[in-house]
Amino acid sequence: MLALVAACGACNNPSNLGPDAPPRPDAALDAFMCPANRFFTGQYIDWDSNNSSNFCGIYSATFAVHGDASNSKPTNPNGRFQICLDNAIPSQIDITPSTTASQCTVPASTYPLPGLAIADPEVITTGQLISMQNFTVAREATLGFTVDTSKAFVYVNVDAVPPATRAAVSITSSSDPAQAYTMSTGTWAAGTTGDAVFFPNVDPTGGTTTVSMPGATVGAGSVPIVAGTISYVTIVAM
């Protein structure tokens, strides 16, 4: 029991000013947290958050399995999400930000856009950090693009199992120019290669887009897109 408690110690960091350790695949932890299912965890953080001096988790957002509102959990103060899912198939998670202003953004502000996340068992099994970001109402004015809620938004969390490396990410739907994020500094710049890549104002026609990255990967493929919503997907280079 002590080993399991230690393994999950980072899952409940009480402060939104410090990141958790990246989750790792652990059958014992899966069995402890979700005896009959897959344990899905990661971080939901502010747009400008980084993993050192300016960490800011998004607190009290609701993560709920699409079509099963009874299976829902709020995020911890540091943005950690934890939910039990079906073992075998990808699940869609509906994300509803809190209506309360962020505790750690300056100025304090709310997060206007809901999200949907793809929880892919193959991605979870890699043990790489699953990270998602959102921007506040106050931050919208300086994003570098005008938010069009009649369009969709696609956020691609990108990781790699060494010696593999990240490569350029693309989607099949038309969008405004992509922005890439560097986690170490918490900065965004034009581009399609980074720790995350964001595609703003995506044409939602057809209800899906295909996300890809060159080389051997897990997590790439068709992603649902909805107007006024950020779709979150994780791709891992293998």
d(CA 215, CA 237): 7
Q: Give the distance from CA 130 to its chain's centroid.
A: 6
Q: For residue 37, what pLDDT is reported?
A: 79
Note the pLDDT of residue 14. Answer: 44
Region of 186 (left: φ > 0; alpha: ψ -120 to 50; beta: rest) is: left
Give the least confident one: 14-18, 80-84, 152-156.
Answer: 14-18
**Cα 128 → chain centroid:** 12
pLDDT value for 89? 77
Q: Give the residue-averaged pLDDT of 200-219.
A: 98
| 70 vs 93 pLDDT, higher one | 93
CA-nearest of 194, 173, 199, 192 to 184 is 194
pTM: 0.89
pLDDT of residue 18: 58
For the chain, give the mean pLDDT: 88
pLDDT of residue 30: 55
Confidence bin at 68 (pLDDT 50/70/90): confident
Q: What is the pLDDT of residue 112?
A: 97
Which position has the token pair 């909805």?
226
Domain residue ranges of the chain, discontinuous segments joined by +: 2-237
Structure tokens at 164: 């593999």
The per-residue pLDDT for range 95-151, each reduced to its tens digit, is: 999 999 998 999 999 999 999 999 999 999 898 999 999 999 999 999 999 999 999
